[in-house]
Amino acid sequence: MMVIRNVKKLLFIFIAALSFQTAQAQLEIEIISGNASALPIAIVPMAWQANDPAPATRVDEIISGDLYRSGLFDPMDVGDMAEKPTDGEAIRFGNWRLLKVDYIVVGQVRTPPDGDGYELIYQLFDVHTQEMLLSRITTVGPGDLRFGAHRVADSIYEALTGVPGAFSTRIAYITATGLGNDQRYELVVADADGFGPQSIVGSPEPLLSPAWSPDGRHLAYVSFEQGNSAIYMQDVSTGARELISSGKGINGAPSFSPDGKRMALTLSRTGNPEINVRDMATGRTNQVTQHWSIDTEPVWSPDGRYIYFTSDRGGRPQIYRVSPEGGNPQRVTLEGDYNARASISPDGRRIAVAQGRGNEYRIAVWDIETERFTVLTPGTLDESPSFAPNGSMILYATREGSRGVLSAVSADGNVRQRLILSEGDVREPAWSPVIR
């Protein structure tokens, strides 16, 4: 049943449209496997009442695309809509019931009274009860119409699932193109739907491990531009950047604390990789772990009480946790040969890892309370999991043939999607926090 239902979906490839920013190859997003219980919803084209001409991509298309990609919704094709009401009073619910739609969204786009930007005025109705579930005005600045549409999708998602949407967030990732001396690495930031990718730094030397600051304004990353690994922190909008660490040995795996005041990082100045914590205001750095093994890939628990990290102190890499103040690390993952590169769910209860078994690496999620793994992906070289800020999806890096691509999987493993870049390798995705 699910297969038949998905035939249509497989044909529908959502292309993050409009390539006016042609400097960077566009990401395309395609659903690989959907959800049989997706909610049928109609996002009716909104009446365009703004002063400037309507854009080529309509607001309702952006909203439908977001909801569709979540795997939880089955938005109706505009071509199948017999009528297109733009306010609640004009909805003839009986007609929509016949079309087997459960929910309907109607609205208008206007220029605000002060004359700048856009107001998206919309209502969400339950078609069966005719109840109005949501009535809102979302106001955004000029040039932010897409962001506004994503915000509307966030609200609809939250109203119907109880979980805040993450469509108005962004993703960062690394691309690698060319071979040998022509190799080029870029750190790219794009909207969560792949739209508008912009390179924020490029280098002929490797770039890796992008990490967002909790306010979404900065990215920390590792660059080999000086001939050895070094950590930089860069303002995403201005491009201003600061060298954080470039000592002898490895300077890697930056991770901001939830309050943004500290950064965990891996340094091997003592001779082998150890977890360190840097106070961002004073620059003072304290060593947190002390062991001859490889200790790396630190990430903070959402409450800031623990740093989770990868260590092979038990023989093979596993996830451990330690207080940011130091002390004895405790082993966390108790199953499997190889568990590394943790990403912690926003509620702090689950840990996504790259799990190795023989030559296969898959994304698996460890439930801290039940102490059980759930393997989410079928890949052979899946790595770099990154939880969405609402915990609904996990973005990760995988391989197609010899090339690196990004994929996302729902936290329950039911929905998977592929983010395709037209050329080169894409790797190390990092999902931004919610940007307010």
Partner 1 sequence: MKNAWKLALAVLIALTLAACQTAPKAKPATPETAPEPPKTDVDTSAAPNPHDYADARNFDNPESLLSKRVIYFDFDKSTVRPEYRGIVSAHAAYAKAHGSARVTLEGHADERGTREYNLGLGERRGNAVDALMAAQGASSNQLTVVSYGEERPVCRVSDEECWSLNRRVEIVYTAK
Q: Which of residues 241-270 bind partner 1 (CB under 8 A)?
A: 249-250, 252-253, 266, 268
Distance CA 102, CA 127 (A): 5
Q: What six digits make up the tokens of 379?
A: 């890949």
Task: Kindly indicate which of the ranges 59-67, 74-82, 126-134, 290-298 contains the residues binding partner 1, using the contact rule CB under 8 A.
Answer: 290-298
Distance CA 425, CA 121 (A): 40
375 binds partner 1 (CB under 8 A): no
| Secondary element (H or E) of residue 150 | helix 145-161
N- to C-terminal Cα distance for the chain?
40
Place of tokens 């890697």: 252
Note whether 131 and 125 are within 8 A (CB): yes
Give just the sign of the alpha carbon dihedral 143, 202, 279, 295.
positive
Q: At closest approach, how far in Å is the CB of 303 from partner 1?
A: 24
Nearer to partner 1, 71 or 252 (CB): 252
| Secondary element (H or E) of residue 185 | strand 184-191
Greatest Cα-to-Cα distance within the chain, rounded to the nearest angstrom: 72
Q: At closest approach, how far in Å is the CB of 316 from partner 1?
A: 8
Output the DSSP codes for 49-111: ESSSPPPSS-HHHHHHHHHHHTTSEEEPPGGG-S---SSGGG--HHHHHHTT-SEEEEEEEE-
Which of 372, 380, 400, 412 is in the footprint of partner 1 by CB under 8 A?
380
Nearer to partner 1, 28 or 312 (CB): 312
Q: At closest approach, how far in Å is the CB of 95 from partner 1?
A: 53
Q: At closest approach, how far in Å is the CB of 409 from partner 1?
A: 17
Q: At closest approach, how far in Å is the CB of 116 from partner 1?
A: 44
Task: Kindly indicate which of the ranges 33-41, 113-121, 130-138, 351-359 contains the residues binding partner 1, using the contact rule CB under 8 A.
Answer: 351-359
Task: Kindly indicate which of the ranges 23-31, 91-99, 158-166, 377-385 contains the residues binding partner 1, using the contact rule CB under 8 A.
Answer: 377-385
287 binds partner 1 (CB under 8 A): no
Q: At closest approach, how far in Å is the CB of 162 from partner 1?
A: 33
Which of 283, 402, 422, 436 is in the footprint of partner 1 by CB under 8 A?
402
Cα–Cα nearest to 261, from 288, 277, 281, 275 = 281
Place of tokens 């919803």: 41
328 binds partner 1 (CB under 8 A): no
Nearer to partner 1, 107 or 252 (CB): 252
What is the total count of residues that contact partner 1 (CB under 8 A)?
37
340 binds partner 1 (CB under 8 A): yes
Q: Which of residues 76-95 bind partner 1 (CB under 8 A)?
A: none
What is the amino acid identity at position 398? Answer: T
Beta sheet of 198-203, edge-to-edge order:
198-203, 184-191, 170-177, 425-431
Q: At closest approach, how far in Å is the CB of 272 from partner 1?
A: 7
The dihedrals phi and psi of 323, each to the nearest 5 degrees, come to -70, 145
Q: Which residues bind partner 1 (CB under 8 A)?
A: 206, 208-209, 224, 227-229, 249-250, 252-253, 266, 268, 271-273, 294, 296-297, 310, 312, 316-317, 338, 340-341, 354, 356, 359, 361, 380-381, 383-384, 399, 402, 428
